[in-house]
Amino acid sequence: MSTTQHEGFDLSQIPGLAAQLRVDSIRSSTSAGSGHPTSSMSAVDLLATLMSRHLRYDWDSPEAPGNDHLVFSKGHASPLLYAVYKAAGVVSDQELMNGYRRFDERLEGHPTPVLPWVDVATGSLGQGLPDAVGIALSGKYLEKSPYRVWVLCGDSEMAEGSMWEALDKASHYGLTNLVTIVDVNRLGQRGPTDLGWDLESYQRRVEAFGARAVVIDGHDIAQIDHALAEADGDLDKPLVILAKTVKGKGFSEVEDADGWHGKPLPQDKAEKAIAELGGESNLLVRGPAAPHIDRPEPTVGTASMPTFEKGEGVATRKAYGAALAALGDADPRVVALDGEVSNSTGTGTFVDEHPERFFEMFIAEQQMVAAATGLSTRGHIAFASSFAAFLTRAADFIRMAPVSRVDLRMVGSHAGVEIGADGPSQMGLEDLALFAATQGSTVLYPADGTSTAALVQQMAETSGVSYMRTTRGEYPGLYEAGEEFPLGGSKTLVSSENDDVTLIGAGVTLHEALSAAATLAEQGTRARVIDAYSIKPIDVEGISAAVEATGGRVVVAEDHHAEGGLGAAVLAGLASAPITDLHLAHLAVDGVPGSGTSAELLDWAGIDAAHIASAARSLLEG
C-alpha cells in the first residue's frame, strides 16, 4: 500500500488514483454484500480527473460558500462517491469497509445529506440534475458566486423526461455554472439502454435543448481533462460532457458484460479484480482550493402582512400572493417559483414586486419542485405554486424532499370541484392525500384571507415539506385581522352549550358547513362548526372535545376524494380519542365530475350546505 498526499495532480498520476477508486468501489460493495460496483467503475476516470484537477472544494469546510458542488444524479454509483470521499481524506477506510450499506451508518446505499458533502438525496433516477439546476440558479442569480455545479448522470436516466426539463431550464436561464457529465456505459439494469453507445443521438438531443455537447472517450484522461477544463472558459451555454465508457471498466471478466448491474463481485472475483487493478492503496488527493467568498447573513425585517376585513370577499389564492409578497419585502431569502400560472395562483403579486427572486419554470412541475429543492439547500425560503392537480406530476420529487432534508413549501390553487366549468382535468382531488402521506409534512387549507396570510407566514417558519391548498372563488372573511392560526389547531366558529352535531369543514366546505348550520338552526337543530384549517397535524384534542360534546355525532365534508384527505385525518384523530359512541358521516367527492358552476358541482358531489344539513339530520334521526 502507498500513502501519499497530492496537491494539484498532473495527468500521469490520475491512473493510480483511478485504480484506487475502482478497487475501493469493489471492496466496499463486496464487503456489504450489495451495491453497484460495475456502474461505479465506468465513471471512475471521470471522477478521478474531476476531483484531482477541477473540483474546487475545501473538504474540511463543506459549508464554505465558495465550494463547488458535486451531485451524483447517478446515485446508485455510491461506491464511487464514497471512494472519492476516502481519497479526499474525509471518510476512513474502516468506515468505507464496515459502514457502507449497514444499519444506522451514514454511508447509505444511495447518497443522502446525512453526509455533509452531499447537497441532495439521489437514487431515484432523473432527480439529481433537476435539483442541481436549483443550486446553479442560486449561484448565478441570488448568491452571485463563482462556484460550479458538477453533476454525474447515468445514461439510463436520460430516458427520464425530467432530465430534459432540467437541460431546457438550464439553457433558458443560461446556467453556464452547471456542468453535466453523462456516463454513457451502454448497459442498464436489464440490458442495453435506450440509445446504447449512440453518442451522435445524445449530442443532437443535448444541442436541441440549447446546451453545448462535448463527446469524449470517458477513459481517455487527456480528453476528460480537456472537456472539464471548458468549465473554466467563457461558456455561453450549459456544458454537457457525453462520455463513452465501459461498464465494469478495469476488471476484464465483467467489462461490458450484461448481468452484473447492481451485483457485488463475489469474494473470489473481487480478489482477482483487485489484483488485476494493482492492489489496494490509500492515496490522499485534494484538488484546487475553493475561492474564498464572503456570504454575509441576510438582513431580515418584520413582515407587514396584508389584512382583510371580516366579511370581505377574497379568493385565498389572491391572499396567498399578497402574503408572499409581504414576506418577500421583509426577508431577502424568500424566493418564488411557478408553473406558468402565476396570474392564477396569486404568485403574480410577488413577480411584480420581486422579479429578481422569481423563477418561472413554465409547464414543468417536476423541475419546479426540483429547483425549489436545490434553492432550499442554499438557504433560500422557496415557495413553489401551481394548480393543485398538476402538482401530482411531481409526486416523486415531493417524496424525495424529506430524504434530502429540505424545507419545501408548496401551494396548490384551483382545488376540487369548486373550480367549476374547467372540468375534471383541472380539479385537484388527490393533492391532500399526496402531501399528507409525505414524511413529516404539514398540510393546510385556509378558508379566508386572514387565515391564509397567517398560515403563509407559518409556512415560512416551518421545516420540512409544507403544503397549502387555496381556492379559486371569492369567499367572505371569517376572522378579524390579527387572529392567530397555530399549526395543529382548529377554530370553532359556531357553538353553544347544547349542540346536537358537529360539522367539520375546511376551505370551501367550511363556508358550506356554516350555511348548513344556519339552516339547521332555523329547524331547531344546534350545530357546532369547526374550521379544520390544519389538516396535518390535525387538532385531535379540539375536534375530539367537540365531537364528544355533541354525542359522537359529526359530519365531515371535503372537496377532495374520500381517501387521504380531511375525513381520513379526522378519523385518525378520533381513533386515538376516548369516544365510544361515534356516529360519523363523511361527505367527499366520489366519481369523475364534469363541467358546471361551482354550486352545481358541489351539489353533484354531495358536499354543499344542503347535503351537509341532510347528513346531520340523518345522524340525529338515527
Read off the pLDDT of residues 313-344 as tens digits, 9 standing for 90 and up.
999 999 999 999 999 999 999 999 999 999 99
The pLDDT assigned to 4 comes to 40
- Judged on CB neighbours under 10 Å (0-12, 13-18, 19+), 299 is exposed
Q: What is the pLDDT of residues 556-597, one digit of tens each?
A: 999 999 999 999 999 999 998 778 799 999 999 999 999 999
Distance between CA 54 and CA 68 in Å, rounded? 9
Distance between CA 488 and CA 236 in Å, rounded? 49
The pLDDT assigned to 8 comes to 58
Distance between CA 406 and CA 256 in Å, rounded? 38
Asked if 110 contacts 76 with a C-beta cutoff of 8 angstroms, the reply is yes
Q: Stretch 183-198: mean pLDDT, rounded?
A: 96
Distance of CA 298 to the CA centre of its chain: 24
In sequence order, what are the residues at sequence separation of 6 or more whose Cβ sits closer than 8 angstroms to the Cβ of residue 49?
Answer: 14, 221, 224, 225, 228
C-alpha to C-alpha distances, 327 to 138, 460, 470, nearest whole angstrom? 19, 8, 18
Task: Give the chain's largest Cα–Cα span.
Answer: 91
The counts of H helices and E strands in the chain are 23, 21
Average pLDDT over the chain, rounded to an integer: 96
Distance between CA 79 and CA 108 in Å, rounded? 10
Cell numbers for 436, please give them: 399528507
Asked if 555 contacts 615 with a C-beta cutoff of 8 angstroms, the reply is yes
Q: Stretch 541-553: mean pLDDT, rounded?
A: 96
Is the pLDDT score of 35 beyond 70? Answer: yes
Of all residues in the chain, the percent with pLDDT exceeding 70 is 99
Q: Stretch 135-163: mean pLDDT, rounded?
A: 98
Is the pLDDT score of 2 beyond 50? Answer: no
- The HSE-up count of residue 90 (CA atoms within 13 Å, CB side) is 18
In sequence order, what are the residues at sequence separation of 6 or more whose Cβ sits closer than 8 angstroms to the Cβ of residue 455?
Answer: 444, 446, 468, 485, 533
Position 224, amino acid:
I
Distance between CA 511 and CA 532 in Å, rounded? 12
Catalytic positions: 365
Distance between CA 256 and CA 268 in Å, rounded? 20
Q: What is the pLDDT of residues 468-520, one digit of tens each?
A: 999 999 999 999 999 999 999 999 999 999 999 999 999 999 999 999 999 99
Q: 5 pLDDT band (50/70/90 cuts)? A: very low
Q: What share of the chain is helix, strand, coil (3-state, %, to 5)?
A: 40, 15, 40
Q: Stretch 383-394: mean pLDDT, rounded?
A: 98
Q: Stretch 438-464: mean pLDDT, rounded?
A: 98
